[in-house]
């Protein structure tokens, strides 16, 4: 877990340096050098729930998810325990490039939903950083069981981050309306 230790150490250092600039946004730089359009740009991290829904919809469109009503998305965000977003700044405007949200009982369990990284930013470790941040935030809140439901193509991704599939034979199960 050396990467992770360094990662959080760097995050905290950078937090000290930068986060006081904008208390409303609880932002910190977590990666200074991500490639985008032949430039290197700063990627910021935020847990602010006041997220631009149209930007989120655009992100979800880009990763190919079925559109959902914005009003319901707003409700879901308000009632999530944790929202994590990654963004960069262009002309002082935030550009959303990563998102995840978590439901929880605020005590024992949490479930991660809607993990997305903008396709043009994939392959640079941002998904890993996003999930590390989710884990870090939940551990700060003393949540001990972090769960999620992984599509087949991302099971390995989560396995590498320490998530176990069906531990002790526990099975993820779904009920949908008929």
Task: State which residue, 38 or 173, has the beta carbon closest to a second copy.
Answer: 173
Tokens of 140: 């700060």
Please state the closest distance from residue 1 (CB atom) to a second copy, in A: 8
Collapsing DSSP states into helix, strand and coil, what is residue 44?
strand
150's CB contacts (< 8 A; 6+ apart) are 157, 158, 163, 165
Distance, CA of 84 to CA of 140 (rounded, Å): 14
The answer to the question of residue 167 lying near a second copy (CB under 8 A) is: yes
The answer to the question of residue 2 lying near a second copy (CB under 8 A) is: no
Task: State which residue, 90 or 145, has the beta carbon closest to a second copy.
Answer: 145
The answer to the question of residue 67 lying near a second copy (CB under 8 A) is: no
- Candidate segments 32-40, 51-59, 90-98, 160-168, binder of a second copy by CB under 8 A: 160-168
Nearest CA-CA partner of 35 in 96, 116, 120, 99: 120
- Candidate segments 17-25, 35-43, 58-66, 166-174, binder of a second copy by CB under 8 A: 166-174
**Could you tell me how many residues make up the chain?**
178
Q: Is 44 labeled as catalytic in the residue annotation?
A: no
Choosing from 19, 111, 122, 124, the residue that interacts with a second copy (CB under 8 A) is: 111
Choosing from 9, 32, 58, 162, the residue that interacts with a second copy (CB under 8 A) is: 162
Please tell me the number of Cα atoms within 13 Å of 11 on its side-chain side: 19
Residue 53 CA: distances (Å) to CA of 42, 71, 75, 124, 163: 22, 9, 11, 25, 29
Kindly list the residues in this chain that would bind a second copy in the complex (CB under 8 A): 1, 68, 72-73, 75-81, 101, 103-109, 111, 113, 135, 139, 144-152, 155, 158-159, 161-178
Q: Where in the sequence numbering do the catalytic residues fall?
A: 158
């Amino acid at each position: 877990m050396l990467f992770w230790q360094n990662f959080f150490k760097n995050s905290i250092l950078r937090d000290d340096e930068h986060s006081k600039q904008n208390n409303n946004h609880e932002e910190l730089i977590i990666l200074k050098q991500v490639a985008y359009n032949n430039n290197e740009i700063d990627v910021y991290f935020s847990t602010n729930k006041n997220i631009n829904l149209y930007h989120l919809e655009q992100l979800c469109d880009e990763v190919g998810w079925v559109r959902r009503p914005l009003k319901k998305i707003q409700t879901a965000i308000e009632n999530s325990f944790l929202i994590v977003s990654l963004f960069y700044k262009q002309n002082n405007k935030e550009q959303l490039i990563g998102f995840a949200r978590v439901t929880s009982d605020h005590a024992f369990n949490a479930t991660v939903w809607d993990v997305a990284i903008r396709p043009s930013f994939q392959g640079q470790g941002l998904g890993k950083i996003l999930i590390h941040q989710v884990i870090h935030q939940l551990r700060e809140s003393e949540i001990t069981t972090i769960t999620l439901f992984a599509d087949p193509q991302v099971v390995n991704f989560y396995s590498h981050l320490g998530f176990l599939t069906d531990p002790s034979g526990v099975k993820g199960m779904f009920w949908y309306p008929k």
